Amino acid sequence: MKNHLWENKNIVITGTSSGIGEALMMALSGINCRIFALDRVSKTPPSNTKAEIIPLTVDITDDENMKSVAGEILAKTDSIDYLFNNAGITTHGRMDETHIDVFRKTFNINFFGNIHLTLLLIEAIKKARGAVMVTSTVSGLYGIPGRSAYSSSKAALHAAYESLRIELSEFGVRSIIFCPPYTKTALRTSGLDSKGNQLNEEQAKGNIKTPEEVAQFMISAAEDPNSRLVIIDKSGFFVKWMRLLSPAYLEKTLFKRLFADFH
Ligand SMILES: NC(=O)c1ccc[n+]([C@@H]2O[C@H](COP(=O)([O-])OP(=O)(O)OC[C@H]3O[C@@H](n4cnc5c(N)ncnc54)[C@H](OP(=O)(O)O)[C@@H]3O)[C@@H](O)[C@H]2O)c1
């Protein structure tokens, strides 16, 4: 980690109660910086950290709650160096069985909640010539079977943050779309099924990443001034390139590999 890039910086992270967001907060907690840790459940911040950790309770789908939390952040600083829009949920189910309310709920968290926070804090990010990172996913690189709501809510973020990157380049603001692969977190427990019930699924099988490993990739990506679309493993590179080179082959592979996920 390039500590000097984080020293004395104001950092906002959403989804710090568990998984990738918590690992990111902990990875940065040894630095002398200020971390606004946003979550639905207020947790006592870890003690003995060099960082000043300020926990703020927010449901990112609640507009009034978001405005008030953004106000609390902006009362402490008018300059934000890093915004990690990380909070999110997954949704599993075939598209032809997925209720429209499940699409709406998924977009409210993964897309609108994320965009709203960016808009509320954008002037402070401009002032700092800061960086906005959004945690997307490999499933945001193509419509994944059994994941239509999740994939589409994340893919929509790609377009929004690409626009933002171009528009705000003259202010020195960077916009990074980060696409981790399967990671060992609570995502599949807390997600939704096609009817809106809690998912409670087991972790993906295989040699999947830990949240701590993913957090280190996020930090490196934020430190690199050229980061745009950040992919960190071969599953992501496969999807990224196959969608251009041979979408038919990509779709056949996804059909076979994920057959059980949509049957
Ligand atoms: N795990 C994977 O395989 C994987 C792969 C690629 C991308 N991702 C992305 O990584 C991000 C972090 O997920 P994770 O894997 O670390 O799962 P996680 O452990 O379930 O963390 C998700 C976080 O988002 C928060 N959150 C959910 N809905 C919220 C809301 N309405 N308002 C405020 N906070 C909310 C959760 O808070 P609560 O504790 O209150 O629910 C939790 O802190 C997500 O955007 C996910 O899509 C995960």
Q: Is the pLDDT confidence value at 156 over 80?
A: yes
Has residue 151 got a pLDDT over 90?
A: yes
Averaged pLDDT, 65-88: 98
Cβ atoms within 10 Å, residue 237 = 13
CA of 227 from ligand 1 middle (Å) equals 22
Ligand 1 atom 26: the closest Cα is on which residue?
87
**Residue 46 pLDDT:** 81
d(Cα 114, Cα 164) in Å, to the nearest integer? 13
Contact (CB, 8 A) for 232 and 214: yes
> What average pLDDT does this structure show over 113-127?
98
**pLDDT at residue 32 tops 80:** yes
pLDDT of 44 reads: 79
Best mutation site among 13, 22, 39 for ligand 1, i.e. most ligand atoms within 8 A of its Cβ? 39
pLDDT band for position 179 (50/70/90)?
A: very high
Atom of ligand 1 nearest to the CA of 183: 3
- Kindly tell me if the per-residue pLDDT of 204 is higher than 80: no
Note the pLDDT of residue 162: 98
pLDDT at res. 207: 81
Q: Is 60 in the pocket of ligand 1 (CB under 6 A)?
A: yes
Enumerate residues 6+ apart whose C-beta is below 8 A from 174.
130, 131, 132, 165, 225, 227
Task: Give the model's pLDDT for residue 30.
Answer: 96
Structure-token match 């002037």, residue found = 123
61: Cβ below 6 Å to ligand 1? Answer: yes
Between 148-167 and 114-128, two packed helices, what is the crossing angle to 10 degrees?
20
Atom of ligand 1 nearest to the CA of 110: 45
Residue type, 89: I
- Sheet containing 131-135: give its strands across: 52-57, 34-39, 10-14, 82-85, 131-135, 174-179, 229-231
For the Cβ of 182 lying below 6 angstroms from any atom of ligand 1, the answer is: yes
Domains along the sequence of the chain with CATH: 3-262 (3.40.50.720)
Q: What is the DSSP letter of 50?
A: S
Query: Is the Cβ–Cβ distance between 213 and 45 less than 8 Å?
Result: no
The whole-number pLDDT of residue 73 equals 98
222 contacts: CB under 8 Å, gap ≥ 6: 5, 82, 84, 131, 133, 176
Tell me, using a 6 A CB cutoff, whether residue 153 lines ligand 1: no
Q: Does residue 22 surpass a pLDDT of 80? A: yes
Contacting residues for 37 by C-beta, under 8 A, at least 6 apart: 13, 16, 25, 43, 45, 53, 54, 55, 56
pTM for the full predicted model: 0.97
Ligand 1 pocket: which of 17, 83, 150 to mutate (most atoms <8 Å of CB)? 17
What distance in angstroms lies between residue 109's CA and the mean position of ligand 1's atoms? 10
Give the pair of three-digit tokens for residue 189.
């427990």
Return the amino acid letter for 23. Answer: A
Supply the pLDDT for residue 262.
85
